[in-house]
């Protein structure tokens, strides 16, 4: 049996990019609740949320891959913040936030061409 995928138009890709960005912004809302006892982490998450909220949607495949990596990193961040050992989890969470910032910088290269 053979399955064929419909190739998305640029308009559909941009819409999907916007949906992915909105999903990532909503994930930050969850992370803010999880980090309620750490004001420094909350401030970093708020900055990240503001950046994610105003990302330019794109039809570029590279941007799609980067958006997926950002989503995976946000999921990892949820896991890290839910762990019992707070100090170790916060150190790992800070590292993950730096990774997300790097991905956002890479994404900017493709959207500002």
pLDDT digits (tens, 9 = 90+) for 35-58: 888 898 899 999 999 999 998 888
Cβ atoms of residues 110 and 57 within 8 Å? no
pTM for the model stands at: 0.86
Instruction: Report the pLDDT value the prediction gives residue 47, as an integer from 0 to 100.
Output: 95
Give the confidence band of 5 by pLDDT, cuts at 50, 70, 90: low
Work out whether the CA dihedral 17, 22, 24, 25 comes out positive or negative: positive
Confidence of residue 2 (pLDDT cuts 50, 70, 90): low
Contact 101, 45 (CB under 8 A): no
Q: In the structure encoding, which two tokens stand for residue 66, read together? A: 């980067």
Question: Helices 10-34 and 61-82 meet at what angle, rounded to 10?
Answer: 20
d(CA 1, CA 98) in angstroms, rounded, equals: 44
pLDDT value of position 27: 94
Q: Which of 12-26, 36-50, 76-90 has the lowest mean pLDDT?
A: 76-90
Lowest mean pLDDT among 7-16, 39-48, 96-105: 7-16
Instruction: Label residue 8 by pLDDT band (50, 70, 90).
Output: confident
Distance, CA of 19 to CA of 34 (rounded, Å): 23
Kindly report the number of other CB atoms within 10 A of residue 17's CB atom.
20
């Amino acid at each position: 049996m053979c399955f064929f995928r419909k190739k998305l138009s640029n308009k559909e890709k941009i819409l999907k990019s916007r949906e992915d960005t909105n999903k990532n912004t909503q994930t930050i809302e969850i992370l803010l609740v999880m980090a309620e006892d750490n004001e420094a982490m909350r401030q970093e998450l708020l900055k990240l949320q503001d950046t994610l909220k105003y990302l330019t949607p794109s039809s570029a495949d590279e941007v799609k891959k980067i958006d997926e990596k950002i989503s995976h990193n946000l999921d990892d961040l949820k896991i890290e913040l839910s762990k019992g050992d707070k100090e170790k989890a916060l150190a790992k969470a800070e590292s993950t936030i730096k990774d997300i910032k790097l991905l956002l910088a890479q994404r900017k290269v493709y959207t500002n061409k």
